[in-house]
């Protein structure tokens, strides 16, 4: 087992941080079953800092683990089926809509494709060489979710009257589509081409770098030509209709099936304590609901009978997982803060103070706040309403794109963000 700070974390690649070892667990497509979540919660409770962190690629991480407990944690995760191939521990970024199969607007349920892609990826030794940040997105074409900035992204569209997937490579639309029954062959081939082309052109194994070099891009399209056909847009959910990432849907939502809903609780700062994770696993078990981790660092309880909702809502609220979107955490993200050597501030504590300040208020679309412990801005999402970056003497503060302070103490920064929130809400209503 390798332990070292030069590695991206995995289960077998624990990385030391200020608060102990950090493990990242691959959850392809965010599809996790109740027994797996329960196993993670148990390990968090007994061997790490009691928190289950959901990442922005819908994986899970555990922090604050000690070296002596590592083997025990790895065994637990492996026996729960979360390490199907040791060689592919860090080939993990398969991202899909957490509403796949239940979203009334989607053209295709991508869940079976996610499972097929993961099985083929995990069985192929060549693909173990993919960069740990290499990401592959399968998007059924619904309005709750759209990602095209991943290394490889397939979004469902209608082409020639049939469902196809439109391909984007490194964020660049290829203008080509692949039939749905060839989508996984195409994805696997494209991933292999990324490895080959990056070697040939001496580029990092990231599709964005390939898309930026015209000869490499040509080679990529040539290599995929057996799968692809020109794409003429017919029917798809247009970009403006897709819900922006910061406006993640909290609450109870209709699904494609009458009498069946999805339940989406707020997960403050993407962190569940072990008891909350156990509760979600128990609810999924009792109600036969599916569990999906979401790229907004959240969770969706899919396919729940409407009659069970009031009971579930009560249990979630009692556990501190709000369903009304008014807990102050909507749109709020913070980095690891004091868990990281580089942090100048306890950003999570400051994020909690801000949430307390905003709690009970309505939050309109587009509201987002990023709080980072240093210039690296790990919590950053583009176009945030408020950006706080800690430095040696407080926070630099940007509101709606304008820098308003360079060295602001936490209390004043929080008050300024809360005032900005109030002002925006007043103009909206
Ligand atoms: S933003 Fe800085 S302090 Fe926060 S996790 Fe990243 S490197 Fe660490």
Query: For the domain that residue 392 is a member of, what is the CATH number?
Result: 3.30.413.10
**Residue whose CA lies nearest to ligand 1 atom number 6:** 378
Please report whether residue 15 resides in a domain. Answer: yes
What pLDDT, on the 0 to 100 scale, is given for residue 89? 93
Structural domain that includes position 18: 2-85
Tokens standing for 53? 């962190």
The closest-lying atom of ligand 1 relative to the alpha carbon of residue 343 is 3
User: Would you call 268 helix, strand, or coil by DSSP?
Assistant: helix
Q: What is the best residue among 22, 53, 63, 343 to mutate for testing ligand 1's pocket, by most ligand atoms within 8 Å of CB?
A: 343
Tokens standing for 332? 């709020």
Ligand 1 in contact with 203 (CB < 6 A)?
A: no
Q: Are residues 135 and 66 in the same domain?
A: no
What pLDDT, on the 0 to 100 scale, is given for residue 240? 43
**395 closest CA partner among 380, 379, 373:** 373
Q: Are residues 304 and 376 in the same domain?
A: no
Q: Are residues 365 and 403 in the same domain?
A: yes
Q: Are residues 136 and 230 in the same domain?
A: yes
Q: Are residues 354 and 257 in the same domain?
A: no
The closest-lying atom of ligand 1 relative to the alpha carbon of residue 344 is 3
Q: How far is the centre of ligand 1, averaged over its atoms, from the C-alpha of 364 (Å)?
A: 28
Q: How far is CA 391 from CA 261, 283, 369, 374, in A?
A: 44, 42, 17, 6
What pLDDT, on the 0 to 100 scale, is given for residue 245? 56
Ligand 1 in contact with 373 (CB < 6 A)?
A: yes
Please report whether residue 357 resides in a domain. Answer: yes
Q: How far is the centre of ligand 1, averaged over its atoms, from the C-alpha of 342 (Å)?
A: 6
Q: What is the best residue among 53, 376, 389 to mutate for testing ligand 1's pocket, by most ligand atoms within 8 Å of CB?
A: 376
Please report whether residue 79 resides in a domain. Answer: yes
Helix (H) / strand (E) element for 252: namely strand 251-254
Tokens standing for 220? 């990529």
Pairing of strands 135-139, 152-159: parallel
Find where tokens 């009659």 sit. 307
Domain total in the chain = 4
Ligand 1 in contact with 374 (CB < 6 A)?
A: yes
Q: Are residues 229 and 254 in the same domain?
A: no
What pLDDT, on the 0 to 100 scale, is given for residue 145? 66
Q: Are residues 250 and 297 in the same domain?
A: yes
Among 318, 344, 375, which residue terminates a domain? 318
Q: How far is the centre of ligand 1, averaged over its atoms, from the C-alpha of 363 (Å)?
A: 27
Q: Are residues 257 and 353 in the same domain?
A: no
The closest-lying atom of ligand 1 relative to the alpha carbon of residue 373 is 3
The tens place of each residue's pLDDT in the chain, 429 residues long, gives 444 445 689 999 999 998 899 999 999 999 999 999 999 999 999 999 999 999 989 999 999 999 999 999 999 999 999 999 999 999 888 999 999 999 888 899 999 999 999 999 999 999 999 999 899 999 998 876 666 678 999 999 887 778 899 999 888 888 889 999 999 999 999 999 999 999 999 998 888 899 899 999 999 999 999 988 887 765 544 444 445 555 678 999 999 999 999 999 999 999 999 999 999 999 999 999 999 999 889 999 999 999 999 999 999 999 999 999 899 999 999 998 998 889 999 999 999 999 999 999 988 788 999 999 999 988 676 678 999 999 999 999 999 999 999 999 999 999 999 999 999 888 876
Q: How far is the centre of ligand 1, averaged over its atoms, from the C-alpha of 16 (Å)?
A: 14
What pLDDT, on the 0 to 100 scale, is given for residue 94? 94
Tokens standing for 263? 């339940």
Cα distance between residue 206 and residue 190, in whole Å = 12
What pLDDT, on the 0 to 100 scale, is given for residue 5? 42
Q: How far is the centre of ligand 1, averaged over its atoms, from the C-alpha of 339 (Å)?
A: 9
Q: How far is the centre of ligand 1, averaged over its atoms, from the C-alpha of 223 (Å)?
A: 39
Q: Are residues 74 and 23 in the same domain?
A: yes
Q: Are residues 125 and 226 in the same domain?
A: yes
């Amino acid at each position: 087992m390798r332990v070292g700070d030069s590695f991206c974390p995995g289960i077998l690649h624990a990385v030391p941080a200020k608060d102990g070892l950090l493990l990242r667990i691959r959850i392809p497509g965010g599809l996790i079953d109740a027994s797996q979540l329960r196993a993670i919660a148990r390990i968090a409770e007994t061997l790490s800092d009691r928190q289950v962190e959901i990442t922005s690629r819908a994986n899970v991480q555990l922090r604050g683990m000690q070296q002596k407990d590592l083997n025990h944690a790895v065994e637990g995760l492996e026996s729960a089926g979360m390490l199907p191939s040791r060689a592919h521990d860090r080939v993990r970024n398969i991202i899909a809509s957490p509403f796949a199969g239940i979203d009334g607007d989607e053209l295709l349920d991508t869940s079976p494709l996610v499972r097929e892609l993961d099985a083929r990826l995990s069985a192929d030794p060549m693909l173990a060489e993919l960069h740990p940040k290499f990401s592959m997105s399968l998007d059924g074409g619904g309005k709750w979710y759209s990602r095209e900035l991943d290394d490889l992204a397939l979004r469902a569209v209608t082409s020639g009257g049939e469902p196809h997937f439109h391909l984007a490579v490194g964020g660049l639309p290829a203008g080509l589509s692949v039939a749905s029954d060839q989508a996984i062959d195409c994805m696997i081939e494209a991933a292999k081409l990324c490895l080959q082309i990056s070697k040939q052109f001496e580029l990092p194994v990231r599709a964005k770098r390939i898309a930026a070099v015209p000869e490499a891009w040509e080679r990529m399209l040539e290599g995929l030509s057996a799968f692809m056909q020109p794409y003429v847009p017919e029917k798809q959910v247009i970009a403006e209709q897709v819900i922006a990432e910061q406006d993640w849907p909290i609450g109870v939502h209709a699904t494609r099936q009458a009498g069946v809903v999805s339940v989406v609780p707020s997960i403050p700062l993407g962190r569940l304590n072990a008891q909350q994770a156990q509760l979600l696993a128990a609810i999924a078990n009792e109600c036969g609901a599916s569990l999906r981790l979401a790229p907004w660092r959240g969770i969706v309880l899919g396919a729940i009978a409407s009659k069970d909702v009031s009971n579930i809502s009560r249990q979630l609220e009692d556990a501190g997982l709000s369903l009304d979107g008014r807990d102050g955490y909507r749109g709020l993200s913070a980095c690891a803060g004091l868990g990281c050597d580089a942090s100048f501030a306890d950003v999570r504590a400051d994020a909690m103070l801000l949430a307390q300040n905003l709690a009970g208020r309505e939050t309109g679309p587009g509201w987002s706040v990023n709080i980072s412990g240093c210039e690296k801005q790990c919590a950053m999402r583009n176009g945030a309403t408020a950006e706080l970056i800690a430095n040696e003497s407080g926070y630099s503060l940007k509101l709606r794109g304008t820098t308003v302070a360079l060295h602001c103490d936490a209390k004043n920064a929080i008050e300024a963000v809360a005032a900005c929130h109030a002002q925006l809400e007043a103009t909206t209503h």
